[in-house]
Structure 1
Amino acid sequence: MTTSLSPSHRARDVRSADHRTLEQAGLRGLPALEPRPPLHLVAPEGQLQVHTAPYRGSYGTVLSQALRSAGLGSRVMVAQFLKGGVVQGPDAAVTLCDRLIWMRPAVLECLSQPAAQAESAVVDAVQSIWSACSTHLSRGDLDQLVLDELGLAIAFGYLDEQEVLCRLEQRPASMDVIITGPSIPDSLMALADQVTELRRGF
């Protein structure tokens, strides 16, 4: 009469035979593994990055990364605070790749003079760009926000440093914020998770 073993009994017999073989060879088997706890996905954590240089050179690399992110499905906005010439403003922002919003102040030329020497309409145009950025920072409806020449806009007096700092400190945890350009205030540098500085002469 033939007795058939169930699969579980056969598996135990194989493990026992393997254990005896290892002992005869002077070896020990591995301890039984405990079941692993299930993996928990971690929410994405955004970074505040600074790309700075004593000359104009950091924006092109950041813009190409922003375009790539938008092409891969991220919601991106690029704000240039002192670049004019195209009279965009928040109401005439350009959309690229269906997911990248690009805006400049509604002025006719690039700005290089302090706010105290500029017309009130020019100051308002720069502040309207920051207002749009501030709104997105409050809503948390972007994956990436690029703030070009933010430091110069503060240095020239178009934007208030403490207001900008407070808004960035309260930014959504999942949003990447990238600040580019020269003259980044120490308060923003201290807030940054990553600082990239371009240099000449190497």
Structure 2
Amino acid sequence: MVAQLETPSLNSTLDFPYSVEGIVQVFTSSHRSFFTSVMSQALRIAGQGTAVLVVQFLKGGIRQGQENPIRLGQKLDWIRCDLPRCIDTPHLDESETKSLQKLWQHTQKVVLEGQYSLVVLDELSLAIHFGLIAETEVLAFLDKRPNHVDIIFTGSQMPKSILEIADQITEIRRSHQP
């Protein structure tokens, strides 16, 4: 969770013997319909005044892209890939591949600039599984991110390498048959 530290008064400063370090959380499931709980966490954090970015890599249909983010409140930016459809296959045409790569490059840039304290990477795991984004690039991105940035991965097919570095793993399971 995004750490927030308060000083006891406006005129005092505190020297902390440690630095606040961002964590990596994973929310995974065999089905693709559990994003609501992660989104409510992002809205709560943004409502407390922390800058949040939500990136949906495989959701399309509204031709949004990083040029047209949705702003929810003052602190939450929400971006979907600039695609005419949602992605459910590794077989993309050239324009879809370019759009996905453009969104990935934009995400890395704004995170490395320190614009956000919480970043939700929705279905990036499935994009990795489909071979659309290289797992090694994602791991390098995690290593380079500013220390204070919390990352939340959501999606099925979570790579073992991400599970191994995660500070928290939540597996959503259905207890009933539809």
Q: TM-score, normalised by structure 1?
A: 0.76
- 1:137/1:167 contact within 8 Å kept: no
1:174 aligns with 2:148: yes
- Name which of 47, 55, 66 aligns with 1:71: 47
1:137 is displaced (CA, Å) by 2.6
Q: Which secondary structure does the structure 2 equivalent of 1:45 belong to?
A: coil
- 1:137/1:168 contact within 8 Å kept: no
In structure 1, distance between residues paired with 2:134 and 2:58: 15
- 1:59/1:180 contact within 8 Å kept: yes
- 1:154/1:161 contact within 8 Å kept: yes
1:39 is displaced (CA, Å) by 6.3
Quick one: structure 1 residues 39 and 90, their matched pair in 2 at CA, closer, same or farther if it must change by over 3 Å? closer
Q: Which runs of 5+ in 1 are unaligned?
A: 1-37
Across the aligned residues of Structure 1 and Structure 2, the Cα RMSD in angstroms comes to 1.6
| Higher relative helix content | 1
1:50 is displaced (CA, Å) by 0.4
1:198 aligns with 2:165: no
User: What percentage of residue pairs aligned between the two structures are identical?
Assistant: 40
Q: Which secondary structure does the structure 2 equivalent of 1:90 belong to?
A: coil
In structure 2, distance between residues paired with 1:81 and 1:72: 26
How big is each residue's C-alpha offset from its partner over 1:74-111, in whole Å with a ceiling of 9 and x where there is no partner? 00000000000111101011111111110111111101
Look up the match of 2:94: 120
Q: TM-score, normalised by structure 2?
A: 0.86
In structure 2, distance between residues paired with 1:101 and 1:58: 20
1:40 aligns with 2:23: no
Which structure has the larger Rg?
1
How big is each residue's C-alpha offset from its partner over 1:36-67, in whole Å with a ceiling of 9 and x where there is no partner? xx963343221010010111233110101101
* Residue pairs, 1:150-161, within 5 angstroms: 150-161=124-135
1:188 is displaced (CA, Å) by 0.9
In structure 2, distance between residues paired with 1:97 and 1:184: 30
- Name which of 23, 26, 32 aligns with 1:56: 32
Q: Which runs of 5+ in 2 are unaligned?
A: 1-12
